[in-house]
Amino acid sequence: MRYLDQAAIEHIAIGAAFLGTGGGGDPYIGKLMALSAIEKNGPVKLYSVDEVADEDFFIPAAMMGAPSVLIEKFPRGDEFVKVFQKLAQYLGKDKIAGTYPMEAGGVNSMIPIVVAAQLGLPLIDCDGMGRAFPELQMVTFHLDGISATPMAITDEKGNIGIFETIDNKWTERIARSATVEMGASSLVSLYPTTGAQIKQSGVHHIITLSEQIGEIIASKDQEVNDKLESLLTLVKGYELFQGKIVDVIRETKGGFNLGKMVLEGIDTYKADQMKVHFQNENLIAEKNEQVIAMTPDLICLVDFETLQPVTTESLKYGKRVRVIGLPAHKKWRTAKGIETAGPRYFGYDYEYTPIEEMVKKEEAEHV
Amino acid sequence: MRYLDQAAIEHIAIGAAFLGTGGGGDPYIGKLMALSAIEKNGPVKLYSVDEVADEDFFIPAAMMGAPSVLIEKFPRGDEFVKVFQKLAQYLGKDKIAGTYPMEAGGVNSMIPIVVAAQLGLPLIDCDGMGRAFPELQMVTFHLDGISATPMAITDEKGNIGIFETIDNKWTERIARSATVEMGASSLVSLYPTTGAQIKQSGVHHIITLSEQIGEIIASKDQEVNDKLESLLTLVKGYELFQGKIVDVIRETKGGFNLGKMVLEGIDTYKADQMKVHFQNENLIAEKNEQVIAMTPDLICLVDFETLQPVTTESLKYGKRVRVIGLPAHKKWRTAKGIETAGPRYFGYDYEYTPIEEMVKKEEAEHV
């Protein structure tokens, strides 16, 4: 167990936004929410998964919907606690032992800190993705057959819903339509889980990893190339591209930020072009019309100079970025993982190939 | 208190479909559901509103969505009880004293009979509209400030939702989007009410009135003109038109059956034309381009020969019908009633004028 101080929270927000692969919300907004919550309620305890009792009961808290909406629809702050408590009450659980994020992301890593601070609950060092994904069934608990429901949903106006669905795809469908009606974003608590389930099916250590990533990115002691090297070593990643955003096509549709961006290479990549397709999160990266990285592997955009993560809602013409690719957690690389969040699920007719192989193949072709 | 036998149920289904003004579901489907439920579980007791204790607690049950879908998506039968019990459980009420319909209509008058039969509960002789309307806030309880939520919703697959909304328009919005996602129809329990609230805000005696209407329509002892006269006397209605359907424009959109039909006059109406606009229910009737009846007053289509009610999903080219207009319940003729379900709410820019006045004016012009 350790306490999360202000610096830790700032680093977690940045690192989680990096792992959010474009989705999961803006880390600046997320950080403000969490810092304001600990300032008011005192620090939050972070427990590792090993420290959790098997029979204890945990509820995650998250934002659902198009992250871009959050900028205009800033949460009041009590919605997170409200939806969390509503689910606890519905489940008839007197004692909730803690909370944790559903996914990485600048906002979705911070919401559980707000809940933990406001309710004096521990935060557990795990999540259900190890990255961010756009749909509710794209969760490692789902891969292990755990139900997403009962779930609770609320909006900033105060409307509340509780769902029990026949499977997790129906959770996504019904919660998505409610989210769209609520104004394209909502707050949710779902996948209520025991300690044993967290140990078995969660992505462990993800908050600490986010913090370490954030520390590197925020560091003022290193040059950008050294920072990049430290970052790539930590996350076992690859720099896939350096470029300037020359086109962004997007729409907010069905509670998602959908689109595609085109990057024109700079420096060593001057002759090259990259396209990145996204649905809240970056899903497919094509270098010179050839796929170089694909979901469930992580495609992370960072600022060229500062390495600060770039979310899909903040893509701007002319912005200079680096594209970094990371292998997904091993749970995502199983048959069920690829069926759930691989390229074909999103409508891209590619056989999933691990990023390591694609990078190796591309290097071989260009020697 | 009296028992509802098979004949009573058949008559109620027909009469309620008449009062359903085109919506509320097909009376044949409704009747089958209710008869099968009483055959299996025994007869249902009907209590008048006067016989109800003020402090007792009641929950209505209804179908929501486009009635046309029901024909293909026949309910399994246990959904009604499931959604009813889910709401009772959520409300923490051990004892529900009875159920009643939300609206008139061939199916929506019968669902509470199914619930009453399956759970051995009394049925109360009232509803929340005295007719049918397409949206959840178009209920006399709403006019008196009673909340539609907590409400429960389910589909034939087994998905369940519970909503608590900030107002009844939000109930409509969120439940509608869930209904659309569930396949354009759902089962709902909402407006949980006490006996005192039913006495104050319900439309009393509506099941008995439906039965009396059904008895007249089903009668084999009278000629059609005599039956029509009896019917008009009972409901204080007007025959507005006799015609043949020559055009129907419709779509199923947002969980509604929307559209417009054109009738070409027959017999004494040979030189005339009528248009009827509907959204599940008939809303506006225009005779020779002049409005002759408008919501919240009732516009009922019946078969020309048999006087059997014609629902909006069964409109067919060439069908010969009579159009009957009825004054709405007095609660609908208040300022709040007209604001809630008058022509302007549905996008028709007419000042609401009671049907009696419009008929009188038209007769004066044509003498």
pLDDT of residue B309: 97
Answer yes or no: is pLDDT of B307 > 80. Answer: yes
| C-alpha angle A39-A45-A46 in degrees, rounded to nearest 5 | 125
* Among the listed residues A357, A309, A359, the one whose alpha carbon sits nearest the alpha carbon of residue A131: A309
pLDDT higher for B365 or B331?
B331
B180 contacts A166? CB cut-off 8 A = no
Res B215 pLDDT > 90? yes
Count CB pairs under 8 A between chains A and B. 59
Contacting residues of B for A79, CB less than 8 Å apart: none
Which of B160, B166, B173 to probe the A interface (max A CBs under 10 A)?
Answer: B160
Task: Please check whether residue A174 touches B, CB under 8 A.
Answer: yes
| pLDDT recorded at residue A71 | 55
- Report, as an integer, the average pLDDT of B251-279: 89
CA distance A78 to chain B (A): 15
- Say whether pLDDT at B109 is over 70: yes
Res B66 pLDDT > 90: no
Q: By the CB < 8 Å criterion, does A83 face chain B? A: no
Kindly report, residue by residue over A201-238, the tens digit of the pLDDT.
999 999 999 999 999 999 998 999 999 999 999 999 99
Note the pLDDT of residue A197.
98
Contact B174 A178 (CB under 8 A): yes
pLDDT at res. B83: 92
Which residues of B fall within a CB distance of 8 Å from A85? none
Inspect the interface and report whether the beta carbons of B160 and A165 lie closer than 8 Å. Answer: yes
Find chain B residues with C-beta within 8 A of A180's C-beta: 177
> In chain A, whose CA is at the least distance from the CA of B167?
A159
Mean pLDDT of B316-336: 97
Assess whether pLDDT exceeds 80 at residue B256: no
Q: Which amino acid is at B52?
A: V
Bin A198: left if φ > 0, else alpha if -120 < ψ < 50, else beta.
alpha
Q: Does domain A222-365 correspond to CATH entry 2.40.390.10? A: yes
Of the options 3.30.413.10, 3.40.1610.10, 3.30.230.10, 3.40.50.2300, the CATH number for the domain spanning B2-206: 3.40.1610.10
pLDDT(B268) > 60: yes
Q: What are phi and psi of A147, to 5 degrees?
A: -75, 140
Q: Which two tokens stand for residue B151?
A: 């409400």
Which residues make beta-bridge pairs with A298? A326
Q: pLDDT digit string (tens) for A288-343?
A: 999 999 999 999 999 999 999 999 888 999 999 999 999 999 999 999 999 999 99
Residue type, B28: Y
Tell me whether residues B162 and A157 touch, CB distance under 8 A: no
For all residues of chain B together, what is the average pLDDT? Answer: 93
The whole-angstrom distance between A339's CA and the closest CA on chain B is 23
In this prediction, residue B40 carries a pLDDT of 93
Q: Point out the residue among A158, A160, A177 whose CB comes nearest to the CB of B178.
A: A177
Q: Chain B closest CA to A159's CA: distance in Å?
A: 4
B45 or A280, which is more confident = B45
pLDDT confidence tier of residue A73, bands split at 50, 70 and 90: low
Calpha distance A118→A111 (Å, rounded): 11
Chain B environment of A176 (Cβ under 8 Å): 181
Angle between helices B6-19 and B206-218 (to 10 degrees): 100
Query: CA–CA separation, A260 vs A279, rounded Å?
Result: 9
Q: Which residue is closest to B182 within chain A, CA to CA?
A: A174
Using a CB–CB cutoff of 8 Å, tell me whether B189 touches chain A.
Answer: no
What pairing do the DSSP bridges indicate for beta strands A193-194 and A203-204? Answer: unpaired
pLDDT on residue B24 = 87
Q: What is the pLDDT of residue A76?
A: 64
**Residue B237 in contact with residue B218, Cβ under 8 Å?**
no
Whether A178 and B180 lie within 8 Å, measured CB to CB: no
Domain boundaries, chain A: 2-206, 222-365
Q: Which of B157, B163, B182 sits opposite A161 (nearest CB)?
A: B163
CATH class of B235-365: mainly beta
Please check the confidence at residue A77 and state whether its pLDDT lies above 80.
no
Q: What is the average pLDDT across A98-114? A: 95
- The answer to whether A83 and A153 have CB atoms below 8 angstroms apart is yes
What was the pLDDT predicted at A67? 66
ipTM of predicted assembly, 2 dp: 0.84
| Contact state of A159 with B163 under an 8 Å Cβ cutoff | yes
Please report residues of A whose CB lies closer than 8 A to that of B163: 159-162
* Pairwise CB contact (< 8 Å): B162 & A162: yes
* Residue-level pLDDT at A74: 59
3-state secondary structure of B357: helix
Give the 3-state DSSP-derived string for chain A, with helices as H, strands as E and coil as C. Answer: CEEECHHHHHHHHHHHHHHCCCCCCCHHHHHHHHHHHHHHHCCEEEECHHHCCCCCEECCCEEEECHHHHCCCCCCCHHHHHHHHHHHHHHCCCCCCEECCCCCCCCCCCHHHHHHHHHCCCEECEECCCCCCCCCCCCHHHHCCCCCCCEEEECCCCCEEEEECCCHHHHHHHHHHHHHHCCCEEEEECCCEEHHHHHHHCEECHHHHHHHHHHHHHCCCCCHHHHHHHHHHHHCCEEEEEEEEEEEEEEEECCEEEEEEEEEECHHHCCCEEEEEEECEEEEEEECCEEEEECCCEEEEEECCCCCECCHHHCCCCCEEEEEEECCCHHHHCHHHHHHHCHHHHCCCCCCCCHHHHHHHHHHHCC
| Alpha carbon separation from A85 to A62, A109, A190, B30, B88 (Å, rounded) | 13, 19, 12, 40, 20
Asked if A182 has any chain B CB less than 8 Å from its own CB, the reply is: yes
The residue type at A73? K
Do B112 and B207 touch, CB atoms closer than 8 A?
no
* Six token digits for residue B58: 């009641």
Is the fold of B2-206 the same as that of B235-365?
no
Chain B residues closer than 8 Å to A182 by CB: 174
**Coil vs helix vs strand at B221:** coil
B335 at the A interface (CB within 8 A)? no
**Residue A188, burial from CB neighbour count under 10 angstroms (0-12, 13-18, 19+):** buried
Contact B161/A at CB under 8 A: yes
Number of Cβ atoms within 10 Å of the Cβ of A63? 26
Q: Which residues of A touch B180 (CB under 8 A)?
A: 177
Quick check: B353 pLDDT over 60? yes
Task: Give contacts of A161 with chain B, Cβ < 8 Å.
Answer: 161-164, 174, 178
Determine how many CB atoms are found less than 10 A away from the CB of residue B335.
10
Looking at beta carbons, which residues of chain B come within 8 Å of A90? 90, 162
Q: Which residue of B has its CA nearest to A155?
A: B165
Residue A78 has pLDDT above 90, yes or no: no
User: Which of B157, B170, B180 comes nearest A177 by C-beta?
Assistant: B180
Q: Residues 90-119, chain A: which have Cβ within 8 Å of B?
A: 90
Q: Which structure tokens are listed for B172?
A: 């409509």
pLDDT band at residue B313, thresholds of 50, 70 and 90? confident
Q: For residue range B164-208, what is the model confidence (pLDDT) as tens digits?
A: 999 999 999 999 999 999 988 899 999 999 999 999 999 999 999
Amino acid A280: pLDDT: 87
* Residue % of chain B over a pLDDT of 90: 86
Task: Name the residue facing B161 among A157, A163, A181 (closest C-beta).
Answer: A163
Amino acid at B326: L
Specify the higher pLDDT residue, A93 or B9.
Answer: B9
Q: What is the pLDDT of residues B9-18, one digit of tens each?
A: 999 999 999 9
Q: pLDDT at position B205, please?
A: 97
Q: What is the pLDDT of residue A72?
A: 56
